[in-house]
Amino acid sequence: MAQRLRRVLPLLVWLGVLWGPGVPTILARQAAAEAPIKSRLADSPKALVDEVWQTVGREFYDPAFNRIDWLQVRSELLGREYASKDDAYRAVRTALKKLGDPYTRFLTPREYQNLLEQTSGESIGVGMNLGTVEGSGVPVIVRIFPDGPAARAGLQVKDQIVAVDRQSVAGLSLDTVSRRVRGEKGAVLTLTLRRGSGKLLTVTLTRAAIELPAIKARLKQEGGFKLGYIQLQQFNAKAGREVRAALDVLGGEGARGWILDLRNNPGGRVDAATEVTSLLLAEGAIVSVVDRTGERETIRATGRARTDLPLVVMVDRGSASASEIVAGALQDHRRATLVGMPTFGKGVIQQINGLSDGSGLNVTIARYRTPSGREIHKKGISPDVLVSIPEGVRQKLTASGQWGSEADEQYRRAAAVLTEQLQKTIGLEVPDG
């Protein structure tokens, strides 16, 4: 199990064979026919279908396969004809739904590459994030990364996207517009923009490799104390390194306590979650991973914490998987006070599998529990201090760049909790109001 975990940790909570009860039996029953079948399926859509079936058979965390006959599923899949790869993709997705697990899913080649980019911390594009204008659905720039093509071309937050490569985006979904903006490194992109209520602007950019920062960090002054605020947006390959740097820099600038904002963080890599936790937790268990056989392996803090200053962690319904590993460990060890709303409740781990045609397959391979043994799947983690904000307010804060500011009620409460802790540690009376 320990060797297996070392292969799992660089992947997702949101690579390797696990043999569980029932799976050797299924595959043994197929052994005699396996070679001739593979020969007939080579370079056909059926080859992909069979590849997906076998991957799930080896790795899916439920050895009972949601009480369905997984061998019969294979017979059904291989007993039909496929006119194209897209036809096979649809059949695979239908079969996977029978497992009753929304996280075991098929990825097209484009979706697979996008996922790899997200977890690596690098993407090909022009260095901006898109959102929509409230009430209209018009795509608008909500963030521009420093030193990227968009920043160098003078694009601005709130610029509206009218056309991509001279093709109107009216009526298109935000995801579709985002895909059109992305592309191959070095490829030229032409954007038509509307700035404010003014005339249209046409800008030509060249797509490039964009570093995707995992965090936003700054020193804030609250209640007479300097506080280090770290908004961790996703657990990609660079998250641990960036959090470590922020702790060092802001600590050197006089931070007396920390606010770690995990709101709206959907998770990411397991190793990134354990690395971040180890920066904040001196010792003890971080998470226990339970595989399909019931075997458990506990991942512990490295003993190389970067700080022992008071800590508040902000969470909400958008805090999932890897975020919940961090929040659960820090709460169980009483290392941090959690402020905000209950978390999402995703307590399972996925393995990313690349398939032969460039597509991908996410397979749930294990469950995890917090250090105290809490099973959080479909339950979430309850904060110590409950503070709710309406969804409409949350969206406005995000779109206006006021997330983590005085306009943010959850942030204000988190800062108040932290400053109260700091006041108590130095023996000061907590002022009224």
Any idea which residues carry the catalytic annotation?
A: 321, 332, 346
- Please check whether residue 13 lies inside any domain of the structure: no
Lookup: tokens for 251: 């600590």
Secondary structure (3-state) at 346: coil
Number of domains the chain contains: 3
Lookup: tokens for 147: 């030193």
Alpha helices by DSSP H, 211-364: 239-252, 270-280, 322-332
Q: Report which secondary-structure segment, H or E, holds 91.
A: helix 85-97
Last residue of a domain, one of 189, 211, 233: 211
Same domain, 282 and 196: no
- Reference 238, options 276, 208, 207; nearest CA is 276
Same domain, 318 and 190: no
Which CATH number characterizes residue 49's domain? 3.30.750
Which CATH number characterizes residue 192's domain? 2.30.42.10
- Please check whether residue 105 lies inside any domain of the structure: no
Write out the chain's pLDDT in tens, 433 residues.
544 443 444 445 542 222 222 333 233 333 333 444 444 444 589 999 999 999 999 999 999 999 999 999 999 999 999 999 999 999 999 999 999 999 999 999 988 988 888 788 778 889 998 888 766 788 999 888 888 999 999 999 889 999 999 999 999 988 789 889 988 889 999 999 999 888 899 999 999 988 878 999 999 999 999 999 999 999 999 999 999 999 999 999 999 999 999 999 999 999 999 999 999 999 999 999 999 999 999 999 999 999 999 999 999 999 999 999 999 999 999 999 999 999 999 999 999 999 999 999 999 999 999 999 999 999 999 999 999 998 888 878 876 778 899 999 999 999 999 999 999 887 654 444 4
Q: pLDDT tens digit string along 335-368?
A: 999 999 999 999 999 999 999 999 999 999 999 9
Same domain, 202 and 307: no
Q: At a CB cut-off of 8 Å and minimum separation 6, what does 380 contact?
A: 317, 324, 342, 343, 344, 345
Q: What is the C-alpha R_g of the chain?
A: 24
Q: In what order do the strands lie in the sheet with 225-232?
A: 215-222, 225-232, 257-261, 311-315, 337-340, 385-386
Q: d(Cα 189, Cα 207) in Å, to the nearest integer?
A: 7
- Please check whether residue 8 lies inside any domain of the structure: no
- Please check whether residue 14 lies inside any domain of the structure: no
Same domain, 263 and 403: yes
Same domain, 184 and 139: yes
Q: Report which secondary-structure segment, H or E, holds 119.
A: helix 109-120
Q: pLDDT tens digit string along 390-407?
A: 888 887 887 677 889 999
State the pLDDT at residue 87: 96
- Please check whether residue 111 lies inside any domain of the structure: no
Domain that holds residue 131: 122-211
Which CATH number characterizes residue 280's domain? 3.90.226.10
- Give the pTM: 0.80
- Please check whether residue 4 lies inside any domain of the structure: no
Same domain, 349 and 367: yes
Determine phi and psi for 271, rounding to 5 degrees.
Answer: -65, -30
Same domain, 241 and 390: yes
- Please check whether residue 117 lies inside any domain of the structure: no
- Please check whether residue 116 lies inside any domain of the structure: no
Same domain, 202 and 230: no
Same domain, 290 and 386: yes
